[in-house]
Amino acid sequence: MARIVIVSNRVPAGMAGGPQAGGLAVALKDCLKDGGLWLGWSGEIAPTTCADVKIGRFGKIDYATFDLSREDYEKFYVGYSNSTLWPLLHFQPGLVEFDRAYFDAYLSVNRTYARALAALIEPTDLIWVHDYHLIPLASALRAVGVENRIGFFLHIPFVPASLLNLLPRAEKLMHMLCAYDVVGFQTEQHLHDFEDCARHFLNVSADAGAPIVIDNHSVLPIANPIGIDARAFARQAKRSAQGNVAKRLDESMQGRALIIGVDRLDYSKGLPNRFEAFGRLLDRFSEHRLKVSYLQVAARSREDVTENQRLKRELDRRAGEVNGRHAEFDWVPLRYITRAVARATLAGFYRKARVGLVTPLRDGMNLVAKEYVAAQDPDDPGVLVLSRFAGAAEQLTEALIVNPLDPDEIAEALHQALTMPRAERKARHEKLFEKICQTTAATYCHDFLGALMGETSDVVT
Ligand code: ADP
């Protein structure tokens, strides 16, 4: 049976006391249940970037990590990954910062990953690379003689050719993506855009669902939506909703309806418009005044990205403005927390919320939308208000789908959600829950590895 080797920018945090379940670790739990190897940056800064890895073993998984130099951290991680690729692939060309030194560092750090990995793998290992930091890794691995099957999954959106065209060296990026054996995307739309880009930049034929052949190499692009273990999350939510923290939330609400938003504090999440929309709900639908509170949990994230610092200041201002305009001495309409909240606590909060408000400007998938659906009480479920530009909207069509750029449309959807009859809420929820049980974390792993193995291998997941 082949070993699974995962490569991602970071390995799951908290290795000193055993790995904590980060988003990716939760999603990949299934394919690593028989063990495997996981390589990534340690999160530490050292005088130089060096491919010498530290190995730790937790449970059945070996974790291999290496440090980055300050300069590589700034140019590879903050620079090319998060100030060039992240905004471009989230349809924010105005925020793209391109610098050749960033691109050079991006290639050079990927070569370090390749050297580190080449020293650790066996010829039969299946290598699964995750996300936009590591697009060049397959080419770098081939350059040092690695012949294993290598797959790549992009967790964030992919863009149409007209947008990718803005990126200097877009053609090279497409070549590097095509050096993999399988390239996975979250949605059919992203897959379609990738195939379009292959035709446009590489001048190859790319038929829907078929491998693309370039330079005698064949790459299979697939759509493979990531999911959660919906039934386990539902059980967790039921338990947490009876716990002490959820009780405190209940008491503080004094019978009011709760709208919840849960995001990393990132400009792709559409938070300023969301705050604006909530203000407009209170302006335009005055029956909700004093009857509803909106809790936004916004964990600070990638604070070295200048745009996220600016966003934090803007949200502080807007939250103050909404509350200044609407609050009463015994009612805070908008509660805004810039910290992470434990996953179990979140599950209980979702279950208490009448509305889940998920309005990113763009998102690869958005797992918060699926978590909110999973957490609901099927007998009295809340309503999901979902951006049409989240990957999840391709599947979750029974949500109230909104354009996140239009605060009035969001306000109207909030009003519809808050006044929706129970029978309609139940009917919508039933279909949504069925869907999130069909594409789970387990099917995500199984389907990707199935594609990576082709027909011939005997790996079991
Ligand atoms: P992204 O990967 O861009 O952060 P997703 O919605 O796909 O967006 O995944 C976010 C994950 O992180 C979810 O599992 C969610 O529960 C968790 N998360 C997001 N914000 C917070 C927060 N403020 N506190 C705790 N967990 C959070």
- Beta carbons of 102 and 80 less than 8 angstroms apart: yes
Asked if the model's pLDDT at residue 16 lies above 80, the reply is: no
- Beta carbons of 41 and 65 less than 8 angstroms apart: yes
Pocket around ligand 1 at a 6 A CB cut-off: 23, 262-264, 297-299, 340-341, 346, 365-368, 371
* 3-class DSSP assignment, residue 224: coil
Question: CA 102, CA 155: separation in Å to the nearest integer?
Answer: 21
Q: What is the mean pLDDT of residues 309-329?
A: 95
Nearest Cα to 53, choosing from 34, 32, 38?
38
Q: Specify the ligand 1 atom closest to the Cα of 365.
A: 7
Question: Which pLDDT score, from 0 to 100, does residue 27 have?
Answer: 86
Residues in the chain: 461
Q: Specify the ligand 1 atom closest to the Cα of 340.
A: 24
Residue nearest to atom 1 of ligand 1 (CA): 366
Distance in Å, CA 340 to ligand 1 centroid: 9
241 contact partners, CB below 8 Å, separation of at least 6: 347, 348, 351, 352, 377
Q: Which band of pLDDT confidence, cut at 50, 70 and 90, is reported for residue 12?
A: confident
Q: Residue 150 has which token pair? A: 């290598």
Distances, alpha carbon 254 to alpha carbons 248, 250, 262, 321, 439, in Å: 10, 7, 22, 23, 37
Q: Which band of pLDDT confidence, cut at 50, 70 and 90, is reported for residue 457?
A: very low
Asked if the model's pLDDT at residue 84 lies above 90, the reply is: yes
Is 326 part of the annotated catalytic residue set?
Answer: no
Residue nearest to atom 2 of ligand 1 (CA): 366
Distance in Å, CA 150 to ligand 1 centroid: 27
Question: Which of 81, 264, 351, 384 gets mutated to test ligand 1 (max ligand atoms within 8 A of its CB)?
Answer: 264
Distance in Å, CA 447 to ligand 1 centroid: 23
Residue nearest to atom 19 of ligand 1 (CA): 263
Residue nearest to atom 8 of ligand 1 (CA): 366
Residue nearest to atom 20 of ligand 1 (CA): 263
Pairing verdict, β 54-58 and 61-69:
antiparallel
Asked if the model's pLDDT at residue 455 lies above 60, the reply is: no
Q: Specify the ligand 1 atom closest to the Cα of 369.
A: 6
Residue 78, Cα to own-chain centre: how many angstroms? 18
Query: Amino acid identity, residue 244?
Result: N
- Beta carbons of 39 and 5 less than 8 angstroms apart: yes
Q: Which of 16-30, 192-206, 330-344, 386-400 has the weakest average pLDDT?
A: 16-30
Question: Which pLDDT score, from 0 to 100, does residue 303 have?
Answer: 85
Q: Residue 49 has which token pair? A: 């970037």
Nearest Cα to 77, choosing from 45, 53, 54, 50?
45
Q: Residue 364 has which token pair? A: 């690869």
- Beta carbons of 127 and 39 less than 8 angstroms apart: no
- Beta carbons of 414 and 355 less than 8 angstroms apart: yes
Question: Which of 367, 373, 389, 436 gets mutated to test ligand 1 (max ligand atoms within 8 A of its CB)?
Answer: 367
Distance in Å, CA 410 to ligand 1 centroid: 21
Distances, alpha carbon 449 to alpha carbons 153, 196, 274, in Å: 11, 24, 38
Asked if the model's pLDDT at residue 459 lies above 80, the reply is: no
Question: Which pLDDT score, from 0 to 100, does residue 208 have?
Answer: 87
Residue nearest to atom 12 of ligand 1 (CA): 23
Pairing verdict, β 383-387 and 292-300:
unpaired
Distance in Å, CA 451 to ligand 1 centroid: 27
pTM recorded for the entire structure:
0.95
Alpha helices in 327-406 (DSSP H): 343-352, 367-375
Question: Which of 368, 373, 396, 439 gets mutated to test ligand 1 (max ligand atoms within 8 A of its CB)?
Answer: 368
Torsions phi, psi of 294, nearest 5? -110, 120
* Mean pLDDT of the chain, nearest integer: 94
Q: Specify the ligand 1 atom closest to the Cα of 297.
A: 23
Q: Which band of pLDDT confidence, cut at 50, 70 and 90, is reported for residue 18?
A: very low
Summarize pLDDT for 151-169 with one digit per residue, the tens.
Answer: 999 999 999 999 999 999 9
Question: CA 192, CA 185: separation in Å to the nearest integer?
Answer: 10
Nearest Cα to 5, choosing from 56, 39, 30?
39
DSSP state of 332: -
Alpha helices in 302-457 (DSSP H): 306-326, 343-352, 367-375, 407-418, 422-438, 441-453
- Beta carbons of 144 and 114 less than 8 angstroms apart: yes
Query: What percent of the chain clears pLDDT 90, i.e. is strictly above it?
Result: 89
Distance in Å, CA 164 to ligand 1 centroid: 27
Q: Residue 337 has which token pair? A: 């927390």
Summarize pLDDT for 35-52 with one digit per residue, the tens.
Answer: 999 999 999 999 999 889
Q: Which band of pLDDT confidence, cut at 50, 70 and 90, is reported for residue 14?
A: low
Question: CA 347, CA 438: separation in Å to the nearest integer?
Answer: 20
Is 377 part of the annotated catalytic residue set?
Answer: no
In 10 A of CB 367, how many CB atoms? 25
Question: CA 157, CA 296: separation in Å to the nearest integer?
Answer: 24
Distance in Å, CA 299 to ligand 1 centroid: 8
Question: Which of 263, 308, 358, 361 gets mutated to test ligand 1 (max ligand atoms within 8 A of its CB)?
Answer: 263
- Beta carbons of 295 and 259 less than 8 angstroms apart: yes
DSSP state of 133: G
Nearest-5° Cα angle at 332, 328 to 335: 165
Q: Which band of pLDDT confidence, cut at 50, 70 and 90, is reported for residue 22?
A: low
Residue nearest to atom 24 of ligand 1 (CA): 340
Q: Which of 62, 229, 363, 429 is flagged as catalytic?
A: 363
Asked if the model's pLDDT at residue 343 lies above 70, the reply is: yes
Distance in Å, CA 17 to ligand 1 centroid: 22
Question: Which pLDDT score, from 0 to 100, does residue 305 have?
Answer: 83
DSSP state of 364: S
Q: Specify the ligand 1 atom closest to the Cα of 263.
A: 20
Q: Which of 133, 155, 200, 326 is flagged as catalytic?
A: 155
